[in-house]
Amino acid sequence: MPYGPEFAEFYDRHWRAFGEAVAPKFFAHVVPLVAGRRVLDLCCGTGASSQVFAEDGWTVTGVDASAAMINIARRRADAADWGSRTSYVVQDVTRLDLAGQEPYDVVLCLYDSINHLPGSAAVAAMVESAAEVARVGARFVLDLNTPQALAGWGDTDEVIVDEAGRLTLSAAQDAERGTTTLHVQGQPGAGTGNHDTFSEEHVEHLVDLASLSASLTAAGWHRQRFTTYANLSVDIADPASVRRLVVMAVHT
């Protein structure tokens, strides 16, 4: 399910920093490799990953299934001098409808968003949909949680309290199905007498790398590389050995 408005606000306050931290790394890596200046940010959330491109003068299109996340991205863009170069739309990334747009030079799908897609068929549809709007020579950058990362979820509940409320996160593993379900319970305005609460569930799926590679190849994404944010120029021999894997490919 898409993130609702209350969780989207919590998410933006507490997890946006990840996108802001890694964005300069992949920005510096891919910009010299492409000729154009158009980026498509799939599962863009509140826009943290692609903001660095907009700040540098690129044209940015962000797509997310959550209207609440898109609203936050638009709100931030509207308040910035780079906002006129951005467009944020609510769509299903497995069925993009970007008619009239010029092809993109960089495609992003970060924040382990690929783990949220419900299985290999949805992953294949996403990478194919991305290829249909990408320029020849475009770079695709995606990241994912490996089994090692997801295995560490659910050991303890995480409680976040800030000036805007309280959030409790707990996770449940289903080894047979290869899924991890994140249970979210929140109370905006906790401590102010507000007793309203909200709850959501979000499922992460294990991504089979062989299937992902085959889907990328079938969609025209070649020269695939497995790497990490520690050093995007260095390939890793054992993708399962890291918690957060970065996958890069070139559209041919």
- For the segment 39-73, what is each residue's pLDDT rounded down to a tens digit? 999 999 999 999 999 999 999 999 999 999 999 99
DSSP letter (8 states) at residue 109: E
Is residue 234 within 8 A of residue 227, CB to CB? The reply is yes
pLDDT, tens only, 156-208: 688 888 887 888 989 998 888 899 999 999 988 765 566 788 999 999 999 99
Amino acid 167: pLDDT: 87
202: β partners:
182
Amino acid 191: pLDDT: 57
Amino acid 193: pLDDT: 63
pLDDT, tens only, 193-251: 667 889 999 999 999 999 999 999 999 999 999 999 999 999 999 998 999 999 999 99
Q: Does the predicted TM-score (pTM) go above 0.75?
A: yes
For residue 229, count CB atoms less than 10 angstroms from its CB and return exposed for 0-12, middle for 13-18, buried for 19 or more. middle
CA distance 32 to 90: 30
